[in-house]
Chains A and B, each alone.
Chain A
Amino acid sequence: MSVKSNTNILLLGVNHTTAPVEVRERLAIPAARLADATRSLAHQPGVREALILSTCNRVELLTVYEDGAASEAASQAPGLPSPSALRFLQDYLNIGVADIQPHVYQYREQEAIRHLFRVASSLDSMVVGEAQILGQVKQSWSVAREVGAIGSTDAFSSTLDPLLQRAFSVAKRVRTETRIGSTSVSIASVAAELARKIFGSLAGKTVLIVGAGKMSDLTARHLIEQGATMLLVSNRTMERAEAIADALRTPTITTGVLPYEQLHEQAHRADVIITSTGAAASDPTGQIFTVSSARDLLRRRRNRPVFFIDIAVPRDVETGVNELEGCFVYDIDDLQQVAAANQTSRSREAEAAESIVSSEAASYAGRLAQAPATESIKQLLMNAEAVRQSELARTAARLAAQPLSPEQQAAVEALTQSLTSKLLHAQLAALRTPRNEGESK
Chain B
Amino acid sequence: MAMSLIWLRVAVLLYGVAALAVLPAALYNQPRWRHVAFPAALAGAFFHFVSLAEMLSAAHHALPVETHETLSLLGLLLAAAFVVLTLSYRTVSFGIFLLPIAVLLTIVPAFRAGHETILYVHSGWLFLHIALLLTAYAALFLSLIASLLYLVQEHRLKRKLTTSKRTWIPPLETLDQIALKALLFGFPCMTAGLLIGSVVALETIGPTFFADPKVLLSFAMWIAYSLMIFIRRHSGLRGRRAVYLSSFVFLVVLAVWSANLLSKVHSFPTP
Chain A residues within CB distance 8 Å of chain B: 176, 179, 182-183, 193-194, 196-200, 301-305, 322-323, 325-326, 328, 330, 334, 337-338, 341-342, 345
Can you list 21 contacts pairing A with B, beta carbon distance less than 8 Å? Answer: A176-B31, A182-B29, A182-B167, A193-B162, A194-B157, A196-B171, A197-B162, A199-B172, A199-B173, A200-B170, A302-B235, A302-B236, A303-B236, A305-B173, A322-B158, A325-B154, A325-B238, A325-B241, A338-B162, A341-B163, A342-B163
Chain B residues within CB distance 8 Å of chain A: 29, 31-32, 153-154, 157-158, 160, 162-163, 167, 170-174, 235-241
**Residues of chain B with a CB closer than 8 A to A200's CB:** 170-174
**Residues of chain A with a CB closer than 8 A to B153's CB:** 197
A-B contact count (CB 8 A): 58
**Residues of chain B with a CB closer than 8 A to A197's CB:** 153, 157, 162, 171-172
Q: Is the CB of B172 within 8 A of A305?
A: yes
Q: Is the CB of B172 within 8 A of A183?
A: no
19 additional contacts (CB under 8 A) given A197-B171, A200-B174: A197-B153, A197-B157, A197-B172, A198-B157, A198-B171, A199-B172, A199-B173, A200-B173, A301-B236, A303-B236, A305-B173, A305-B238, A322-B158, A325-B154, A325-B240, A325-B241, A337-B160, A338-B160, A342-B163
**Residues of chain A with a CB closer than 8 A to B235's CB:** 302-303
Q: How far is the CA of A375 from the CA of B160 in the complex (A)?
A: 59
Q: Is the CB of B236 within 8 A of A338?
A: no
Q: Is the CB of A179 within 8 A of B172?
A: no
Chain A nearest Cβ from B5, distance in angstroms? 40
Q: Is the CB of B240 within 8 A of A198?
A: no
Taking CB as reference atom, which chain B residue is nearest A327? B158
**Residues of chain B with a CB closer than 8 A to A345's CB:** 163
Taking CB as reference atom, which chain B residue is nearest A195? B171
**Residues of chain A with a CB closer than 8 A to B239's CB:** 325-326
* Also in contact, A183 and B163, with CB within 8 A (given A303-B238, A305-B173): yes
Q: Is the CB of B163 within 8 A of A303?
A: no
Q: Is the CB of B236 within 8 A of A328?
A: no
**Residues of chain B with a CB closer than 8 A to A322's CB:** 158
Q: Is the CB of B158 within 8 A of A328?
A: yes
Q: How far is the CA of A330 from the CA of B163 in the complex (A)?
A: 14
Q: How far is the CA of A322 from the CA of B235 in the complex (A)?
A: 21
Q: How far is the CA of A176 from the CA of B154 in the complex (A)?
A: 28
**Residues of chain B with a CB closer than 8 A to A325's CB:** 154, 238-241
Contact pick for B171, options A179, A183, A199, A303, CB 8 Å: A199
Chain A nearest Cβ from B73, distance in angstroms? 32
**Residues of chain B with a CB closer than 8 A to A182's CB:** 29, 167
From B32, B170, B172, B237, residue with most partner A Cβ within 10 Å = B172
From A176, A198, A323, residue with most partner B Cβ within 10 Å = A198
Q: Is the CB of A334 within 8 A of B172?
A: no
**Residues of chain A with a CB closer than 8 A to B162's CB:** 193-194, 197, 338
From B32, B158, B162, residue with most partner A Cβ within 10 Å = B162
Q: Is the CB of A179 within 8 A of B29?
A: yes
**Residues of chain A with a CB closer than 8 A to B241's CB:** 325
Chain B nearest Cβ from A99, distance in angstroms? 44
**Residues of chain B with a CB closer than 8 A to A304's CB:** 236
**Residues of chain B with a CB closer than 8 A to A194's CB:** 157, 162
**Residues of chain B with a CB closer than 8 A to A196's CB:** 171
Taking CB as reference atom, which chain A residue is nearest B163? A341
Taking CB as reference atom, which chain A residue is nearest B170? A200
Chain A nearest Cβ from B174, distance in angstroms? 4
Taking CB as reference atom, which chain B residue is nearest A305? B172
**Residues of chain B with a CB closer than 8 A to A301's CB:** 236
* Also in contact, A338 and B163, with CB within 8 A (given A197-B172, A200-B173): yes
**Residues of chain A with a CB closer than 8 A to B29's CB:** 179, 182
Q: Is the CB of A198 within 8 A of B163?
A: no
Chain B nearest Cβ from A322, distance in angstroms? 6
From A198, A305, A341, residue with most partner B Cβ within 10 Å = A305
Taking CB as reference atom, which chain A residue is nearest B237? A303
Taking CB as reference atom, which chain B residue is nearest A328? B157
* Also in contact, A198 and B237, with CB within 8 A (given A176-B31, A176-B32, A330-B160): no
Q: How far is the CA of A126 from the CA of B160 in the complex (A)?
A: 27
